[in-house]
Amino acid sequence: MAPIRLRHPKGVSTIQVDLDAFTVQDLQQEIFAVSQIPPSLQDLKSGYPPRTLAVIPELPLESLGLQVNDQLIVNQKPGATQPAPQVVTPAAPISSHNATLGSASAPRMPPASCSSGPDYVETDNGTLMHRIVPDDNSCLFSSVALVFHQNISKAQEMRKVVADAIRADIITYSEAILGRSRDDYISTILKPSSWGGAIELSIFAKHFSTEIASIDVETGRVDQFTPPPEADSGNRCILIYSGIHYDAASLAPTPDAPPEFHQTVFPIISNDDDDPILKAGKDLASILRAKRAYTNTATFDLKCQVCGQGLKGEKEARAHASQTGHTQFGEY
């Protein structure tokens, strides 16, 4: 382990990192432990004069070019402050076909006396809560475990669900679809350090016979992963996606209700804003968007520090790293 000095809003700390084995995400977790700035909101700089680092969580730590006893500076990204939670309240009565679930309208700030905590949206029939799971590479699996088992500790079991589904269906999950050999994909997805995405969400939708609506914070886009018609239960759950992180959403009787009283799966009313839970999920994403609680990994400009090639976004950086072995990138 190597010492790295960290300047952060609370002072100066020394953190211990493994320069050979850590990923960038591992470093972000160490920084979070002392600064309480979530990884998705961290603005990292190093050197003199300080330069902004290109943070791609899945890359090895060496991509940042850090050395023993280097100094890092972390601040919260501009516009990404964490004020007291915002709440959305109903503006008008809902129609009779929505009455079982409630509806929501435009956001407003809660009274100043409200304590800080997860954001939420009020509906006529409860409070849709932002259920934050750990920023630890297993966020998708933790969110799915929270939704369907009310227990994020079952995240590794969710990885096994994916591995078993891929093993059982060589046609749907071919090497062409997976982008690598089936054995390699299965081995990788079982590791706690690997991320999940669209393939995993489609598998979970089928496994749990439930539509998974993933709402993108930056754009408000809703990606709906649906089970086969013959296995469709007519239910839906909500996930919140920040660009590098998944969280869940659940309906509680009140904002401070214990987790055991939360509802995480809902009857589908419609595929648009006539569905009160889907509408509330979009409003929740809007609150997070206003806080800039998202990361656009597709559009930021990068430069390979080894060969100088210009790149755009995480996708090109990964491809370049795979083709050349170069893993040190800087942001233009």
The catalytic site residues sit at 136, 139, 245, 326
- Residues listed for the chain: 332
**Strands of the sheet with 310-312, listed across from one edge:** 310-312, 301-304, 329-331
Q: Which residues contact 296 (CB under 8 A, 6 or more apart)?
A: 218, 243
Facing residues of 130 across strands? 249
3-state SS assignment for residue 249 = strand
> Token pair for residue 299?
């559009």
Helix (H) or strand (E) holding 87: strand 87-88
Facing residues of 5 across strands? 14, 71
Facing residues of 238 across strands? 213
> Token pair for residue 222?
């809703």
Cβ 276 vs Cβ 101: under 8 Å? yes
Q: Which residues contact 262 (CB under 8 A, 6 or more apart)?
A: 129, 131, 150, 250, 251, 252
> Token pair for residue 25?
């995400």
Burial class, 230, CB count within 10 angstroms (exposed 0-12 / middle 13-18 / buried 19+): exposed
Instruction: Spell out a b/e string for 2-17, using b for 16 or more CB atoms within 10 Å of the CB, else e.
Output: bebebbbeeeebebeb
Cβ 227 vs Cβ 212: under 8 Å? no
Instruction: Spell out a b/e string for 310-329, using b for 16 or more CB atoms within 10 Å of the CB, else e.
Output: ebeebebbeebbeeeebbbb
